[in-house]
Structure 1
Amino acid sequence: MAITADSTILELLQEKPESADVLMRFGMGCLGCAIGRGESIRQAAAAHGIPLEELVAALGIEE
Structure 2
Amino acid sequence: MTVEKNMTLAQVLNADRNTARIFMEFGMHCLGCPHAVSETIEQACMAHGANCDELVHQLNEFFAEKQ
Query: Quick check: 1:22–1:59 contact (8 Å CA) kept in 2?
Result: yes
Query: TM-score, length-normalised on structure 2?
Result: 0.78
Name structure 1 gaps, 5 residues minimum: none
**Number of positions where the alignment pairs a residue of Structure 1 with one of Structure 2:** 61
Larger radius of gyration: 2
Amino acid across the alignment from 1:37: V
Q: Point out where structure 2 has 5 or more consecutive residues left out of the alignment.
A: 62-67
For residues 5 and 15 of structure 1, the distance between their equivalents in structure 2, rounded to whole angstroms, comes to 15
Cα RMSD (Å) of the superposition? 1.7
User: Contact conserved, 1:3 with 1:11, CA < 8 A, in 2?
Assistant: no
TM-score, normalised by the number of residues in structure 1: 0.82
Counting helix residues as a fraction of each chain, which structure ranks higher?
2
* Matches of 2:37 and 2:8, distance apart in 1: 6
Deviating runs (4+, > 6 A) in structure 1? Answer: none
User: Displacement, 1:52?
Assistant: 1.0
